[in-house]
Amino acid sequence: MFKITFIGLGNMGLPMAQNLINAGNQVKVYNRSIEKAKNLTGNFKVCSSIKEACTGQEIVITMLSEDDILYQICDGDDGLLNNMESEAIHISMSTISPDTSRDLYKKHQQKKQHYLSSPVFGRPNAAADAKLFICTSGDDAIKQKVKPILELMGQAVYDFGTDAGAANVVKLTGNFMIMASMETMAEAFTLAEKQGLNREQVANFFGETVFNAPIYKNYGSLIAKKQYQPVGFKASLGFKDARLASKMALDAEMPAPLLNLVYNRLLSALANGNKDSDWVEGISGGVSKDAGI
Amino acid sequence: MFKITFIGLGNMGLPMAQNLINAGNQVKVYNRSIEKAKNLTGNFKVCSSIKEACTGQEIVITMLSEDDILYQICDGDDGLLNNMESEAIHISMSTISPDTSRDLYKKHQQKKQHYLSSPVFGRPNAAADAKLFICTSGDDAIKQKVKPILELMGQAVYDFGTDAGAANVVKLTGNFMIMASMETMAEAFTLAEKQGLNREQVANFFGETVFNAPIYKNYGSLIAKKQYQPVGFKASLGFKDARLASKMALDAEMPAPLLNLVYNRLLSALANGNKDSDWVEGISGGVSKDAGI
Amino acid sequence: MFKITFIGLGNMGLPMAQNLINAGNQVKVYNRSIEKAKNLTGNFKVCSSIKEACTGQEIVITMLSEDDILYQICDGDDGLLNNMESEAIHISMSTISPDTSRDLYKKHQQKKQHYLSSPVFGRPNAAADAKLFICTSGDDAIKQKVKPILELMGQAVYDFGTDAGAANVVKLTGNFMIMASMETMAEAFTLAEKQGLNREQVANFFGETVFNAPIYKNYGSLIAKKQYQPVGFKASLGFKDARLASKMALDAEMPAPLLNLVYNRLLSALANGNKDSDWVEGISGGVSKDAGI
Amino acid sequence: MFKITFIGLGNMGLPMAQNLINAGNQVKVYNRSIEKAKNLTGNFKVCSSIKEACTGQEIVITMLSEDDILYQICDGDDGLLNNMESEAIHISMSTISPDTSRDLYKKHQQKKQHYLSSPVFGRPNAAADAKLFICTSGDDAIKQKVKPILELMGQAVYDFGTDAGAANVVKLTGNFMIMASMETMAEAFTLAEKQGLNREQVANFFGETVFNAPIYKNYGSLIAKKQYQPVGFKASLGFKDARLASKMALDAEMPAPLLNLVYNRLLSALANGNKDSDWVEGISGGVSKDAGI
């Protein structure tokens, strides 16, 4: 059993923390709006400052919505860097830029602490079922040490080497691929619809045959039905990922026209006041609007 | 058992015809280069004219590379329309435009013959194993009648209604989706590579997790390894499908920017003299070239 | 003075025919809706059939909205091909595909008639002022012969050689360039507006300095003001030109992503029921909609 | 006459400084590689530190290649902010981000100094002839005061209001328009070439008629001839501007697909090791490569 602090009790963080509590770890939690902790059950401690949350803990897990918020949690007098114990490990599970990971890796090192990137694939129900896919990168000894913890949250852990940013590259690349798949399906089903076919029948066919992957089945059904409620993942968060992926492409000197395309779909959603709509609507709704349906 | 004529003994047609022969049907075959028939085994008859091939047959199957060639087979004194028996059924399995199907449906009807669209998904080895996915559309009574024949060639038959063009819409839409997936993977893996990761490791991860569909596993491996030999499907044939899909989008008044993107990748391959290279190279190689790797 | 027949009394054809009449030529006119001829003044003859219009004439000028209509005028018992005098010259001034010109060139040749491509740049007021720019291609002797006629309609005649399609290539290429300029200005002015600047001030600056060409001044003013009324040139006609240019690019094996972009803007206008709106609105309005303004 | 310091003696800065010297101002110059000053003639003083350059001067003009370098010149103990006289004016003529201008405006204000944005349009020969177009924005009193100085370098000064960033928005927007025009011409001339026409004849026609602006004449000639030597403006600098314009579009929440297109052309040039080639080659050469010519 480990002494673990969990910071960030959003849609994803909450079930992940719950799984750690259920397994009998000594868990402290911290969240800006601390009422979120009321949704947790079992034996855990709610902290009102980061200092309190970190003191005496071996592991600190962060699951936050963006780079800036992670920096706010890390920096400052009450931040992780100044308050984590020596040799303690920061497991960073948020979807952030690889450069942020590379930077925090160094800063923790200077404080004789450790930083491990461990972003995840999966939606809240997969988090609740401990079925996440977890990508990890950083120091091998640290990976070895925290593996039992990650396995409490995911069905498999994939190791992408020692570059702290590598796992983030995989995560952002994957989110680009998901958005590109949405554009693919939206154009495909719209084309079929405008040629007189039934979108759902077409989506079902592809989901059962050549494209029988969860992404195509699940998003395919939403796109075919133009069902954009309830909101699973906000357009603003999808755009954030497209923006971070574009930054990676710029840094790597790589033209990526399909990335530009989905970036623009979501940027248009934001520009039209729909940042809180679902990212599926941002992309699929854009294709529909262009096609006049 | 049926009296079946099979026209078009290419990479796909050959194993499909073989399965019909193996099942004990009375099969006649016709091909422009008739030596191809030497690759068939068992009990069948080679014909030297379409007239000879059609006479006395209940079913004529065509599996050809493009609309123009299908029209050459159908029209003229020695064509299907003038030589098929009354009430005989033309099962059109080529990847062609929906408008061609709609047109041939009417022309056969005027001759008191039948036309059924039945394009397929799958590569030659799937054809050999009778594991094709077959989409079909046209008259319900005809579908009912030929179902046992189609099932000798495929693992499942999907019915898209009575519009003769509908199954072709699905086939072209699917090929667009495959090309879009190639662009997706090529941009994703190139981005990962230029950020310092191993393409194959990234491809394997996605093929095992969120994108665990055959398309992503098989093409993903080729794209990750930049392995473009042997040629499985020519860039010129891929472009033909992108062109037919663009024509459908035009007719349906539908902007399709991702379709434009893959269309341009393959058109560029043609413009650079690589029409006989693999379509994977056309798309993935284009992404690499833009990225300077 | 010449015996000239003018077919096609639309916004452009009417003032062009008027200039020929004014110069003292013996002009016959033909139009599907013959009331249009009431807008002409002076000495001319209205014909009720193409046969009547062609008989005894040295020159037949066509100024029509699209390839199909030109073919209807040329083909059939009452068409130009069957009714023009031997050695008579068909001056084709419509915006059509180069392949249509190449085809009609041959067909007229077979009838011992002549075909000359002579499409024009300029709007109706330029036509009225005989200020059109005229591109021409075809047989040199014919160009020589009709030059005085063309000069009655335009300020300058540009010779693009003997390929009958060449002048049409230039015309369609130019219309692509105009549409591309609209997209350029629409993105530029929208970017400036969303950064807090005044669109019109920005448009004026560029129109007076580095982009001081009529296209940028005139369309720039409309785009800056988002002034899309009255309709000068319909979105459906603009799309027709984008479509013909795309066909040229396909035939020439040339990827043209900027052409795809303006093609999609106008196709989206059509898909949304705005085929009769101005092409400026189709492009500029699309940029605005994406940007949420 | 004014006491003016000129910082940045590149291709543009050198002739601009020379014009100020020629007019009899008391000019000090500073440049990282100070040998550049040997190209100046007349009465001026070369300084070896920014502190020396600023002391006692009313006006400091900067003409540098990018934001980072401008910040290096402004910040630090030897920077403009710590060494310019009280009430002295920093005229910032570089092509930089509007946000950099807005930031420096405030920082100078805190030091009781003034900041005025004054970026320019025109190439080195226009700078030598004092024919630049100068855009300016910032405090009105400051504009009034420095107007005689700006007029020594340009043929006209355009006022874009009091937002220090506004003139930079115009400059970056204009450079986007120039790049978009290159893409327009490159696609147009390539299409014409592949249809059998002569690129130069086509370019001349448009440059004399509907597109008779300097941009189309000058760049049109280079693009038509595929003449990319000598290098007038590097691909890396063009890309910098495309990148800054993209950042503006992101901040303003504006999808800009044509901007993406030219951005990718130049990024591909960089990725292929051609950062020092001409930006015209980056764009026009990319179109040619895609088209196989």
Paired residues of C29 in beta bridges: C6, C46
**Residues of D at the A interface, defined by Cβ within 8 angstroms:** 243, 250, 253-257, 260-261, 263-265, 267-268, 270-271
Cβ–Cβ pairs < 8 A, chains A and B = 182
CATH code for the structural domain at B3-163: 3.40.50.720
Q: Angle formed by the axes of helices B166-194 and A199-208, to 10°?
A: 60
The candidate with the shortest Cα–Cα distance to A241, out of A178, A168, A175, A285, is A175
User: What's the pLDDT tens digit per position in A93-151?
Assistant: 999 999 999 999 999 999 999 999 999 999 899 999 999 999 999 999 999 999 999 99
* Alpha carbons D153 and D134: distance in angstroms, whole number: 8
Catalytic annotation, residues of B: 171
Q: How far is C111 from chain B (nearest CA, A)?
A: 28
Residue D71 has pLDDT above 90, yes or no: yes
* Alpha carbons D179 and D232: distance in angstroms, whole number: 14
Q: Across residues D62-70, what is the average pLDDT?
A: 95
Which of the residues B247, B265, B267 would you substitute to probe the C interface, choosing the one with the greatest number of C C-beta atoms within 10 Å? B267
Show the tokens assigned to D22.
């020629």
The candidate with the shortest Cα–Cα distance to A173, out of A100, A247, A123, is A247
Which of C121, C201, C248 shows the shortest C-beta gap to D195? Answer: C248
Q: Please check whether residue B54 is in contact with residue B5, taking contact to mean a CB–CB distance below 8 angstroms.
A: yes
Q: What angle do CA A54, A55, A58 make, to 5 degrees?
A: 70
The candidate with the shortest Cα–Cα distance to B131, out of B141, B121, B139, B140, is B121
User: What pLDDT was estimated at residue D1?
Assistant: 85
Q: How far is B200 from chain D (nearest CA, A)?
A: 22
User: What pLDDT was estimated at residue B1?
Assistant: 85
Between the alpha carbon of residue D122 and those of residues C225, D136, D218, the distances in Å are 27, 15, 12
* Tokens 């290159």, residue located: D182
* Alpha carbons D56 and B212: distance in angstroms, whole number: 71
User: What pLDDT was estimated at residue B106?
Assistant: 98
Which of B257, B264, B272 shows the shortest C-beta gap to D292? Answer: B272
User: What pLDDT was estimated at residue D240?
Assistant: 97
User: What pLDDT was estimated at residue D258?
Assistant: 98
* Alpha carbons D116 and D143: distance in angstroms, whole number: 7
Largest CA distance in chain A: 65
* Tokens 């422009």, residue located: B32
Residue A9 has pLDDT above 90, yes or no: yes
What average pLDDT is seen over chain A?
A: 96
Show the tokens assigned to A170.
């995989």
User: β-pairing, A132-136 with A120-121?
Assistant: antiparallel
CATH architecture of the domain formed by C168-290 = Orthogonal Bundle (1.10)
Catalytic annotation, residues of D: 171
Q: What are the chain C neighbours of B271 within 8 Å (beta carbons)?
A: 253-255
Q: What are the chain A neighbours of C293 within 8 Å (beta carbons)?
A: 271
The DSSP secondary structure of C35-64, one letter per residue, reads: GGGGG--SSEEE-SSHHHHHTT-SEEEE--
* Alpha carbons D72 and D76: distance in angstroms, whole number: 7
Q: How far is C74 from chain D (nearest CA, A)?
A: 25
Between the alpha carbon of residue C7 and those of residues C63, C89, C106, the distances in Å are 6, 13, 21
User: What pLDDT was estimated at residue A1?
Assistant: 86
Which of D178, D192, D249 shows the shortest C-beta gap to C170? Answer: D192
Tell me whether residues D253 and A267 touch, CB distance under 8 A. Answer: yes
Q: What are the chain D neighbours of B236 within 8 Å (beta carbons)?
A: none
Tell me whether residues C264 and A292 touch, CB distance under 8 A. Answer: no
Catalytic residue among A106, A107, A143, A171: A171
What average pLDDT is seen over chain B?
A: 96
Q: Please check whether residue C154 is in contact with residue C120, taking contact to mean a CB–CB distance below 8 angstroms.
A: yes
Which of the residues B258, B267, B287, B290 would you substitute to probe the D interface, choosing the one with the greatest number of D C-beta atoms within 10 Å? B290
Paired residues of A278 in beta bridges: A234
Which of A257, A268, A292 shows the shortest C-beta gap to C290? Answer: A268
* Alpha carbons C126 and C133: distance in angstroms, whole number: 9
Q: How far is B72 from chain C (nearest CA, A)?
A: 22
User: What's the pLDDT tens digit per position in A226-268?
Assistant: 999 999 899 999 999 999 999 999 999 999 999 999 999 999 9
Residue B145 has pLDDT above 90, yes or no: yes
Q: What angle do CA A235, A239, A242 make, to 5 degrees?
A: 140
Q: Which amino acid is at A185?
A: M
For residue B292, the chain D residue with the least C-alpha distance is D272
What average pLDDT is seen over chain C?
A: 96
Which of D178, D210, D256 shows the shortest C-beta gap to C213? Answer: D210
User: Chains meeting B at 3+ CB pairs closer than 8 A?
Assistant: A, C, D
Which of A271, A273, A292 shows the shortest C-beta gap to C272? Answer: A292
Is omega for the bond preceding B230 within 30 degrees of 0, making it cis? yes
* Alpha carbons C245 and B280: distance in angstroms, whole number: 28
Residue B214 has pLDDT above 90, yes or no: no
Q: Across residues C104-130, what is the average pLDDT?
A: 96
Q: How far is C265 from chain B (nearest CA, A)?
A: 8
Which of C257, C271, C291 shows the shortest C-beta gap to A291? Answer: C271
Q: Across residues C189-193, what is the average pLDDT?
A: 98
* Tokens 């435009």, residue located: B97
User: What pLDDT was estimated at residue C1?
Assistant: 86
The DSSP secondary structure of chain D, one letter per residue, reads: --EEEEE--STTHHHHHHHHHHTT-EEEEE-SSGGGGGG--SSEEE-SSHHHHHTT-SEEEE--S-HHHHHHHHSSTTSHHHHSPTT-EEEE-S---HHHHHHHHHHHHHTT-EEEE--EE--HHHHHTT-EEEEEBS-HHHHHHHHHHHHTTEEEEEE--S-TTHHHHHHHHHHHHHHHHHHHHHHHHHHHHHTT--HHHHHHHHHHTTT-SHHHHHHHHHHHHT---S-SSBHHHHHHHHHHHHHHHHHTT---HHHHHHHHHHHHHHHTT-TTSBHHIIIIIHHHHHHT-
Residue B127 has pLDDT above 90, yes or no: yes
Q: Across residues B171-189, what is the average pLDDT?
A: 98
* Alpha carbons C193 and C284: distance in angstroms, whole number: 13
For residue C266, the chain A residue with the least C-alpha distance is A290
Q: How many residues does chain B have?
A: 293
Which of B121, B191, B251 shows the shortest C-beta gap to A209? Answer: B121
CATH code for the structural domain at D168-291: 1.10.1040.10
Q: How far is B67 from chain C (nearest CA, A)?
A: 17
The DSSP secondary structure of B120-151, one letter per residue, reads: EE--HHHHHTT-EEEEEBS-HHHHHHHHHHHH
Share of chain D above pLDDT 70, in %: 100
* Alpha carbons D286 and A82: distance in angstroms, whole number: 51
* Alpha carbons C194 and C292: distance in angstroms, whole number: 10
User: What's the pLDDT tens digit per position in B83-105?
Assistant: 999 999 999 999 999 999 999 99
Torsion sign across C-alpha atoms A254, A256, A257, A259: negative
Q: Please check whether residue C91 is in contact with residue C43, taking contact to mean a CB–CB distance below 8 angstroms.
A: no
* Alpha carbons D92 and D31: distance in angstroms, whole number: 15
Q: How far is B38 from chain C (nearest CA, A)?
A: 37
User: What pLDDT was estimated at residue A136?
Assistant: 98
Which of A257, A271, A292 shows the shortest C-beta gap to C291? Answer: A271
Q: How far is C254 from chain B (nearest CA, A)?
A: 7
Q: How far is D252 from chain A (nearest CA, A)?
A: 8
Neighbours of B48 (CB within 10 A): 9
For residue C269, the chain B residue with the least C-alpha distance is B253
**Residues of A at the C interface, defined by Cβ within 8 angstroms:** 257, 264, 268, 271-273, 289-293
Q: Which amino acid is at C200?
A: E
User: What pLDDT was estimated at residue A147?
Assistant: 97
Contacts of C95 (CB under 8 A, 6+ apart): C119, C168, C171, C172, C175, C240, C241, C244
Which of the residues B251, B253, B270 would you substitute to probe the C interface, choosing the one with the greatest number of C C-beta atoms within 10 Å? B253
User: What's the pLDDT tens digit per position in D82-105?
Assistant: 999 999 999 999 999 999 999 999
Q: Angle formed by the axes of helices B235-251 and A166-194, to 10°?
A: 50
Distance of CA D74 to the CA centre of its chain: 18
Share of chain C above pLDDT 90, in %: 97
Torsion sign across C-alpha atoms C152, C153, C158, C164: negative
Tell me whether residues A254 and D260 touch, CB distance under 8 A. Answer: no
Which of the residues A243, A264, A274, A283 would you substitute to probe the D interface, choosing the one with the greatest number of D C-beta atoms within 10 Å? A264
Phi-psi region of C159 (alpha: psi -120 to 50; beta: other; left: phi over 0): beta
Q: Which residue ranges make up each domain of chain C? A: 3-163, 168-290
Show the tokens assigned to B149.
């024949």
Q: What are the chain D neighbours of C134 within 8 Å (beta carbons)?
A: none
User: Chains meeting C at 3+ CB pairs closer than 8 A?
Assistant: A, B, D
Show the tokens assigned to C249.
């690019």
Tell me whether residues C252 and D181 touch, CB distance under 8 A. Answer: no
User: What pLDDT was estimated at residue C214?
Assistant: 87
**CATH superfamily label, A3-162:** NAD(P)-binding Rossmann-like Domain (3.40.50.720)
User: What pLDDT was estimated at residue D214?
Assistant: 87
Q: What are the chain A neighbours of C291 within 8 Å (beta carbons)?
A: 268, 271
Tell me whether residues B253 and C271 touch, CB distance under 8 A. Answer: yes
* Alpha carbons B178 and B279: distance in angstroms, whole number: 11
Q: Return the higher-pLDDT residue of D215 and B183.
A: B183
Between the alpha carbon of residue D105 and those of residues B116, C196, D89, D112, the distances in Å are 73, 17, 10, 11
Tell me whether residues C174 and D210 touch, CB distance under 8 A. Answer: yes
Catalytic residue among C3, C107, C112, C171: C171
Tell me whether residues A271 and C292 touch, CB distance under 8 A. Answer: yes
- E strands in chain C: 3-7, 26-30, 44-46, 59-62, 89-92, 114-117, 120-121, 132-136, 154-159
* Alpha carbons C82 and C18: distance in angstroms, whole number: 27
Q: What are the chain B neighbours of A202 within 8 Å (beta carbons)?
A: 170, 173
For residue C200, the chain D residue with the least C-alpha distance is D160
The candidate with the shortest Cα–Cα distance to D241, out of A57, C191, C102, A114, is C191
Tell me whether residues B250 and C243 touch, CB distance under 8 A. Answer: yes
Q: What are the chain C neighbours of D180 within 8 Å (beta carbons)?
A: 180, 183-184, 187-188, 258
Q: Across residues B25-41, what is the average pLDDT?
A: 94
Burial A42-56 (b: 16+ CB within 10 A, else e): eebebbeebbbbbee
Q: Please check whether residue A54 is in contact with residue A80, taking contact to mean a CB–CB distance below 8 angstroms.
A: yes
Q: What is the DSSP letter of A226?
A: T
